[in-house]
Chains A and B, each alone.
Chain A
Amino acid sequence: MSSTTTTHDAHGHDDHGHPTGLMRWVKSTNHKDIGTMYLWFSFTMFLFAGALAMGIRAELFQPGLQFIKPEVFNQLTTLHGLIMIFGAIMPAFVGFANWQVPLMIGAPDMAFPRLNNMSFWLLIPAAILLLASFFVPGGAAAGGWTMYPPLSVQGGMSVDMSIFALHILGVSSIVGSINIITTIFNMRAPGMTLMKMPMFVWTWLITAYLLIAAMPVLAGALTMLITDRHFGTHFFNAAGGGDPVLFQHVFWFFGHPEVYIMILPAFGILSTIIPTFARKPLFGYASMVYATAAIAVLSFVVWAHHMFTTGMPVAGQLFFMYSTMLISVPTGVKVFNWLATMWKGSMTFETPMLFSVAVVFLFTIGGFSGLVCAILPVDIQLQDTYYVVAHFHYVLFSGAAMSIMGGVYYWIPKWTGHMYDETLGKWHFWLTTIAFNVTFFPMHFTGLAGMPRRIPDYSQQFAEFNMISSLGAFALGLSQLLFLYVVIKCIRGGAKATNQVWDGAQGLEWTVASPAPFHTFETPPQVK
């Protein structure tokens, strides 16, 4: 006979199951599992690099040499920078992309799930190489995260380990970027045109493009360093007719887009959280997209503002000064749009929104101090002082790291199916924000007064501000342990999260159950 039957699947959302135990993670091709692994990896690296920062601040607590030898101090600053950038911030955003991009565009997974797995597992040997470099003869690389020659050409075996680690991380980033680009272009749900994509997806699309354009430049620079060190070439060796400043040009041609690689996804997170808690659509969506693209384009024509003191023609100095200042225009558009989104909104201040508002405020301070550094005659005074340290921590800690924290609080109910502890979340926010400002705001003053960076000792006149900075840093470090506790507590239990989680949230990710099922959008949704 012939008939039609309707049944309900008693085995859950999928009837082909998924692996369990350790192998679920090792062999996973599921974007959610891989996203989770990226986020845990990044948090582990964040704590490790943070511990290095605690060592730096302990040494700088008072003038003189207390705990750490000068060469070890330089190793700490170098590895703190390298690990925070390549091990903590970038993988965290890739974790967000893995979790959220397919959910936001209505795709079942990434375009190349096995490559996605490979991208993650490449991080592990790279991290081991970086961490193990502390234990080789001569200690870890100590020439700064920028690896300028001649120090990087003269350094020991740890420099090779760092270069190899960066090469591996570069491969991981490029493979990940290709995956994200093909996913976003090919796997959007029917009806989701480019100009209907969530801002987070847009910012990641542009970030992936920046990675595609910038990463081979870093790979080339590192390979030239290796050949200078071991194969007798003289790309950067002045004694052999090479040019050390060429390395700085090549490095910063990668390095400045890298700054935006670390901040554009943060802008995407802010553009998602602020409309939710203002209960209004994002103000000026199209202008946000164009501003993001403009920032990306401009990021390729400002690199030499990192090297004003190396000597370059006045025309070049003026070009890089003005082009750097020009970036404040699209960035200003973004800040204006976030404020306009909040304007007359029905706002509430849950932990993700607190982080977002703080980021808008603190990142703007970092942007303004960046404008100060862009002014050529001023930068010549401020080059390599603590003012620059204050500037980039206001941009990268309050801009990138605090956005990541806000993003975790925003999406963790969707990831775990539990609400986090709001009271502890707010404690974490206030402790982080206050401690961050106590740590880094005084650095503006010490920098303006001339205190040089990357030096373990300093003049007596900087003692008070350094003591304040160190106390703030210890509080900042400890408050991140509270973050770890809140996250673990949320994973282990808590109030059941609804599918929508936040009443003002918009987007496809809120149409699936909480926690998000192992497989989602196997049938593409229709976007109106």
Chain B
Amino acid sequence: MLLSNIDSNCYNVTFKPNCSLTASNKRKVVLLLTIIPCCIAVGFGMLGAWFVLPFVGLEVGALAFAFYYVNSHECDYESISIDGNSLLIERGHGKQVSQQELNPYWVNVQRIELPSGELKLNLISHGKRIEVGRYLTRKQREILADQLQKRTGTFKQY
């Protein structure tokens, strides 16, 4: 997903990882997946086979935790903003946020064509090499590279 906010003074784009199920749908899926095993366990419990209950409980807990864990990374993001002399790359991974700052005047946008047909983007400056656009498709990476190229290379010309 590519969210962008571009105007003449500042440039800001935010990328989020591909996630094919929204948070609200995750809750529905978990409910749907767990309700029948719970009913089965209660049924067997009532018939005297109550040992089924704790196993279903463990399993439902594991399933819910798996979806919770996946959901907690739904908010991961990568944002690139250029404002004046600052090119800021911010990454959110779970509850951790990391930032790296470069000077856009000195940034080299490197495109690496992989044999698999994919395109990898690096921002290189003063010995630092930072991969960006990992959540994007090839086409979106090409657009991002063009946009960054304009805002790094052309700034120099001004």
Interface residues in chain A, defined as those with a beta carbon under 8 Å from any beta carbon in chain B: 1-9, 12-14, 111-112, 174-175, 178-179, 181-182, 185-190, 192, 209, 212-213, 215-217, 219-221, 223-224, 227, 235, 243, 246, 249-250, 253, 300, 512-513, 517, 520, 522-526
Known: A186-B19, A512-B116, A523-B136. A216 touches B56 (CB 8 A): yes
List chain B positions with a Cβ less than 8 A from chain A: 18-21, 26, 29, 33, 36-37, 40-41, 44, 47-49, 51-56, 58-59, 62-63, 66-67, 70, 104-116, 118, 120, 134, 136-139, 141, 145, 149, 152-153, 155-156
Chain A residues with Cβ below 8 Å from B37 are 212-213, 216
Name the B residues within 8 Å of A4 (CB-CB): 108-111, 145, 149, 153
Closest 3 CB pairs of A and B: A220-B52, A216-B55, A188-B20
Contact of B55 among A112, A175, A223, A512 (CB under 8 A): A223
List 15 additional contacts besides A13-B114, A187-B18; criterion CB under 8 Å. A9-B114, A9-B115, A178-B63, A181-B33, A187-B20, A215-B55, A216-B52, A219-B52, A219-B55, A220-B51, A220-B53, A223-B51, A513-B115, A520-B116, A522-B134
Contacts of A517 in B (CB 8 A): 116
Q: When A3-B108, A512-B116, A523-B138 are in contact, do A220 and B33 touch as well, CB less than 8 Å?
A: no
| Complex: A181 Cα to B36 Cα, angstroms | 16
Given contacts A213-B37, A513-B116, contact A524 B49 (CB under 8 A): no
Of the candidates B47, B51, B115, B137, the one having the most CB atoms from chain A within 10 angstroms of its own CB is B51
CB < 8 Å neighbour of B113 from A8, A112, A174, A223: A8
For A8, give its contact among B115, B153, B156 (CB under 8 Å).
B115
Number of cross-chain contacts by CB at 8 Å: 156
Contacts of A300 in B (CB 8 A): 40
Q: Are B18 and A189 in contact (CB under 8 A)?
A: yes
Chain B residues closer than 8 Å to A192, beta-carbon distance: 20
User: With the chains together, A174 CA to B155 CA distance in Å?
Assistant: 56
CB-based contact A5/B137 at 8 Å: no
B residues near A188, Cβ cutoff 8 Å: 20
With beta carbons under 8 angstroms apart, the residue of B54, B59, B120, B137 that contacts A215 is B59
A-B CB contact pairs (8 Å), 28 listed: A2-B104, A2-B153, A3-B108, A5-B111, A6-B112, A7-B111, A9-B112, A9-B115, A9-B120, A112-B66, A175-B62, A182-B67, A185-B26, A190-B18, A192-B20, A212-B59, A213-B37, A215-B59, A216-B52, A217-B55, A219-B55, A220-B54, A224-B49, A246-B47, A246-B48, A249-B47, A523-B134, A523-B136
Residue of A nearest to B120 (CB): A9
Q: Which residues of A are found within 8 Å of B104, using beta-carbon distances?
A: 2
Determine the residue in chain A with the shortest Cβ distance to B118.
A523
Residue of B nearest to A223 (CB): B51
CA distance A3 to B124 in the complex (A): 10
Least Cβ–Cβ distance between B98 and chain A, in angstroms: 19
**A217 CA / B134 CA spacing, docked (Å):** 43
Q: Which residues of A contact B111 (CB under 8 A)?
A: 4-7
- Most chain A Cβ neighbours within 10 Å, of B37, B58, B141: B37
